[in-house]
Structure formats: C-alpha cells, structure tokens
Chain A
Amino acid sequence: MTSDIRPLSLNVPEPGCRPGDTPDFSDFEIPRAGLVPRPAVNVDPDEIRDMAFSIVRVLNKKGEAVGEWADSLTNDELRVGLRHMMTLRTFDIRMMNAQRQGKTSFYMQHLGEEAVSCAFSRAMQPGDMNFPTYRQAGLLIARDYPMLTMMNQIYSNAEDPLHGRQLPIMYSSKEHGFFSISGNLGTQFVQAVGWAMASAISGDTKIAAGWIGDGSTAESDFHAAMVFASTYKAPVVLNIVNNQWAISTFQGIARGGVGTFAARGHGFGIASIRVDGNDYLAVHAVAKWACERARLGFGPTLIEHVTYRAGGHSTSDDPSAYRSKSEAAAWPLGDPLERLKQHLITIGEWSEERHKQAEAEIHDEVVSLQKTAEAVGTLAVGKTPSPRDMFEGVYETMPPHLVKQRQEAGF
C-alpha cells in the first residue's frame, strides 16, 4: 500500500492553445442547430439537466432558423437586431480609436459578443432591471439609450451624466433598466437577486437579470447569488457570459473540474441552459423563455452564453501575448453579426447592398455624434466636469467635514 504513495503534484489547467500554437477546437462539442427541444416555461429543473451540457442553437450552417426555439422574432425585429449589433460594433471601433488618440483613458469593446446583450435586451420589458458587467452595452443600445450620452461619459466631458466620477464605460441608467456598473467583479450578481426579491416582496411583476463573466463565477458573490436565488425562488435571470477568456486566463481556471458553467446551477436546483451566444435568434429565444419563467413565478434560470471574446479584454492588454492570433478566426461558433446577416439574406429579407447602405448610415450617425461629443470636450481637452463635483453626492446632504475639505481644496 505505502509503495503506491508518490509525492503529490498540483494540477494547474492549461488552455489548448497559446501563442504560436495552432488553434484546435475539436474537443468542443457543438450540437447541430435545432436539436435541443424547448421545454415548457414551468418545467422542473431536474427534467432539463441535460440542457446544461448541450447548446441551444437556432441558426444552422446554411443560415436557416430551425427547431423549436426558432420564430421568437419577426423579420422586422431581426433587422432591428442586426442594426443594433452593427451599431454597437461601429461604436466600439470609434471609441477604441478615440482611446488610442488620448481622448479617454480606457475602453472595453464587445467584438464577437454583440448578440448576447443586444438580443437579451429585447426579451425584457420596460421596468425590468439589468445588473450588467462592463461588456453589455448592447443592453443600452438596444433600448435606445442615447449614444451621445455614452460618448459624453466615455470622454468624461462636461455633459458626462455621471459628472466625471466613474470610469468611461461604467454606465448607469435606471430609466433604461441598467444598474450602475461598479467595476468590481461579481458584486452585481447578488444585487440582481436582491432586486428580484424586492419585486416579489412588493407583489410586483417586474424581473431582474444578473450578468457575470466566466472568470468572475469563481467569486464568492456568485455562490451568494445562486443560494439566495434558489432559496427565495427569485424572479431573476442569471447570465454567465462565457467568452472563454478572463484577461489572459482561460475559462478552465474558473470552471475547474465541472463540465460547463451552466452545470453549476444543478446543485441549487436552478433551471440551467447553455445557449449559442453568437446566435442572435437563440439568445433571444432562451432569454424570452427565462424571462417568462421568472415573471410567471417559476423561479430563476441560469443561462451560460457560449461566446468568444474576439478582441482584447480592454484597451490595456494585448491578447497576442497570451493566446494564438488565429484563435478568434478558428472559433467554431462564428461571428454573431455575420450569422444574422446571412440568415436575413438566406430568407430573402436582406441583401449585401442594403447591408452596405446600413453600414454607411450607422457610420455617419456615430461619427456625427462623436463630433458633437468632442465639441463639448474629451478627457484631454475642452470642458470637463467641475472638481467641485467630486465632493457632491457622497451623501445626499454634504456633511460638515466634506464642506470643509471642499473649501480647503479651493472649489
């Protein structure tokens, strides 16, 4: 017996592919579109345990919408969705460049993940509340939050709705169902559950949606959110956006030995579903199912959006330092914008010409708004928020010690 004992060694998982390697996603199981059935919204979570290991997909390789999850949107709505994703991508490109030009300190783009927030947003109703991370600006774009206001915040200029106090992309808009982004990771997940509990306590019909990244599911707040959501059967949709990378750390470090992030829901008795996050139709259909389930009082749903962060984590990192440059192109679920475009063309509801025209319109709109924002100011030049403003709003009424400090600072 003793002879079998060897010194122990630590298991540190490694991604399949690092810089210089050839990307290989052959181990990544992708069920064909249309395969996963759509259960009733009041289904017992135990009956759909397999959905945490499969992937709900609607768009097939030919660009057709197939299976029980298809048809949650009209063709007009699909064109609106495409426009939202195109707008977000254009917005990102312009703001990434603005950061490189020194007009803001920091930016985070959504490249490759546009479908997740843009489609989800359309499944919620006015009055519902999202508790987002920093990579869900599609929730705002798809609810027609003014892009000019977003830019003013990114530039921290005199029109910044948050008066220069918060980082560029940490938006807040109660009116648009978008809770103030903290910048700390995971904290919002349990707050979403609290908001949903409050709706239930108040006998309301509103629901909440929490958002978290694959990496941040390792935070204790994730566990707190799951146990509270489970115990109180809170009307909340809990979204994990698995974009494969947490800065330079691959998703296997947070996931550990379990098969999928969605499977974490099983221990809590929470309905858990994986969805193709690059399939606008699938994200919308699953979001609609989960929102309805919550609103009807059947409890929380955990959704793992399987997607890929095609860009860097933020303007502060270079992905080629930790993953293969060709990995994004090799990602087997493709590009969400391209896939929706192809679907609309396949069904005769869109064309390359119309797409080019829409691209030009969106480009002009974003550039025009950018000029307006820059005319007010950027972090580098022009009108900035008053230094007096940093002393405001710490409390509703400024206490004497802050009044004194503001005077001392000369504002």
Chain B
Amino acid sequence: MAQMTMIEAIREAHDVAMAADKRVVVYGEDVGYFGGVFRCTAGLQEKFGKSRCFDTPINEAGIVGTAIGMAAYGLKPVIEIQFADYVYPAYDQIVSEAARLRHRSNADFTCPIVIRMPTGGGIFGGQTHSQSPEALFTHVSGLKVVMPSNPKDAKGLLLAAIEDPDPVIFLEPKRLYNGPFDGHHDRPIVSWKKHPLGDVPDGDDLVPLGKAAVRRVGADVTVLAYGTMVYVAEAAVQETGVDAEILDLRTLMPLDLEAIVASVKKTGRCVIVHEATRTSGFGAELMSLVQEACFYHLEAPMIRVTGWDTPYPHAQEWEYFPGPGRVGEAFKKVMED
C-alpha cells in the first residue's frame, strides 16, 4: 500500500499494465517525453521506450483511429485525450468504429482500447476545459463508461479497463486529481495524502467494472453520484444532517442497477447529482431506471441536481457547479415531500 494522489495512481496503473503486457501502448498529446499535461504518464516513456509511450500530432480522430487499427492488429492501446472537451473530433471514430467493430464483424475484429480523458470543472477551465460528456458515451451501444472518484478506484478501475475486451471511456474528474474536492472552493485544498481512499494497493488488484460502491450508509435518502459529486454529497450530508446513503456509481455502463434499486427500496427517496448539463443527461436515465424499478417504494418525487443547461461558464463557475448548497437544498426538499 502507498498513499497516492489520483494522478500517481493512474500513472501507477499504466506502469503495472505496461510491465505485465507488452501489447499495452500509451500515447496522446504531450503524453510521451513530458508525461502528460496532468503528469498521468510521467516517466513511462523513459521506462518503457519511445515505441510504447509517445507523443502524437494534435489530432484526436487520428489518436483514436490509429488505436482502433492497433487493436485490430492485437495491441491494447491506452490513449489520452488531453481534455474531455477535445474528444469531439474523435467522436465518429469512437461511435461508428470502436463501439461497433465487434458487433458488425461478428468478433472477427475487436477493439480493446481505453480512452482516458480529464473531465469536469472546478479549475476555471471555462467552456473548453470543464465539460462532462459521459451521457454522449453511455448513449452509444458497445462502449463502457467509467468514472473513478478516488486514487484507489482510479488505479483498480483503469487496470480493469485495460484488461477489458471492449472499448472503455475512462473519465477522470480532474478536480479530484490532487484531493477529494467537496465543492467548497473557498476553503483550503484537501489532499489525498491522509484520505483512506488515497491508500492504494500495490500490484495489479482490479476494481471490477459495473460495480457501484456505497460511500456512506444511510436511511433517509439514496444519493446517486459519481466523480466529484460524491464529495459534494458528503459535504451536503454534514451540513444538513440528512442521513443519506451515498452510492458512488463508478461505472455508468454497464450500470450496477441492482445496488441502486436495493438502496432506493430501502430509503424510499432518491436524489441524483451530476455536474453535466441536465437535459438528456445521465441523470435522466437514472431517474427512468429508478422509476421503472422502484415506483411503489418512492415516498417523494426524485430530484436531479446538475449543471445548468448552459455552456460551462468561466467567471460564473461556482454558480454553475452543483455545490453542497444546492445538493443540501435537494435533500431538504426530498425529505419534506
């Protein structure tokens, strides 16, 4: 075990996977010599050589398109899109190619690639360094979608994603890279160094895809969250005293519906929190699924707390970001109904 930041844990997962399997190659913009703008691939080129960890031209369609070709050859590319906001030029390669290759070729060709991308706001990144595009990927058949919320999961889930036989979109909440941010931007930064989930096991322990984690056991309301919102929900619990059960979904596709349904049936109430825009967001899917499975157990209408349906603003970041104040209000409302 070692105490790590999420960046160090992600780097460590690459290191373990590259050492164990020669087929694992790592590349992207600024990923090689420099080790990534967030340092998630630091030292890998030096350790494994330039043909297994290298810089690419600034061309996301090229990064993903070449990875698909490499996977068809038999390699396991783990590629970085520098910010999730930059993934759109590669969307055709992801949606029309990576996601469908197995199905359309009847597994003659498959696509075991991992596409990592820093996600979410909280760093004054404005509209092009803050987005949470998870719903654009959960909507696509053939993709798996993962978002870890802590160093331990980041390493274990990334190792599981690399081992997975299908394409995985791996979204890294960048505001969590250095500490468990709870939305209180005006308070001192908290580090992973003393957090229990910053204690990362050595070796190649996986965290299986498709399994949620209960971050807090509670009786009053189920909170469905992932990424940064897990800590925002924890802060809202402390500030309101509502005895919420917090589920960290970890994998959005495939989703751990069983864990969700068990919790909502127990509490009878549900608040869904995500940073992405609301309309057609993943919260809409969660709400539909809970309604279908738990309607007769619900004692109050479900509530979504999300980013607003606007582009991610720069100066108004904290009015956009669904912080503990807004989540706490939702707790109170769902308990009053």
Contact = CB atoms under 8 A, between A and B. Distances in A.
Interface in A151-175: 161-163, 165-166, 170, 172-174
Contact of B210 (A174, A190, A399): A399
Interface residues of B, number: 45
Interface stretch (B6-14, B67-75, B186-194, B322-330): B67-75
A231 B57 contact: yes
A192 interface: yes
Given A224-B62, A395-B142, A399-B254, A191 B97 contact: yes
B150 to A, nearest CB: 24
A401 interface: yes
Contacts of B311: none
B62 A228 contact: yes
Interface in B67-110: 67-70, 72-75, 89, 92-93, 96-97, 100-110
A140 to B, nearest CB: 13
A9 interface: no
Nearest to A230: B57
Given A187-B96, A227-B59, A228-B62, A192 B75 contact: no
Contacts of B280: none
Contacts of A197: 66, 69-70
A393 B103 contact: yes
A400 B100 CA distance: 19
Contact of A393 (B69, B106, B253): B106
Interface in B100-139: 100-110
Contact of A182 (B52, B56, B97, B108): B97
Contact of B106 (A162, A220, A225, A401): A162
Given A201-B51, A395-B166, A399-B254, A184 B96 contact: yes
B141 interface: yes
A371 B33 CA distance: 60
Contacts of B73: 129, 194-195, 198-199, 202
Contacts of B103: 165, 393-394
A399 B254 CA distance: 6
A201 B52 contact: yes
A3 B85 CA distance: 47
Nearest to A234: B66
Contact of B62 (A199, A225, A400): A225
A378 to B, nearest CB: 19
Interface string A376-404: 00000000000000000111100111000
B106 A172 contact: yes
A236 B83 CA distance: 30
Contacts of A170: 104
A162 B68 CA distance: 19
A221 B61 contact: yes
Contact of A201 (B25, B97, B253, B254): B25
Given A395-B142, A396-B102, A400-B257, A173 B69 contact: no
A190 B65 contact: yes
B203 interface: no
A192 B107 CA distance: 18
B153 to A, nearest CB: 20
A198 B107 CA distance: 20
A36 interface: no
Contact of B74 (A191, A198, A224): A198
A369 interface: no
Given A174-B108, A192-B69, 18 more contacts: A129-B72, A174-B109, A179-B72, A182-B97, A189-B65, A190-B66, A193-B66, A200-B51, A201-B75, A221-B92, A224-B62, A228-B59, A394-B102, A395-B144, A395-B166, A396-B110, A396-B165, A399-B210
Interface of A: 129, 131, 161-163, 165-166, 170, 172-174, 179-180, 182, 184, 187, 189-202, 208, 220-221, 223-225, 227-228, 231, 393-396, 399-401
30 contacts: A161-B106, A162-B105, A172-B104, A172-B106, A174-B109, A179-B109, A180-B105, A182-B96, A184-B97, A187-B65, A187-B93, A190-B66, A191-B68, A191-B72, A194-B70, A195-B70, A200-B51, A202-B73, A202-B75, A220-B89, A221-B61, A224-B59, A227-B59, A227-B62, A228-B59, A228-B66, A393-B107, A394-B102, A395-B102, A396-B165
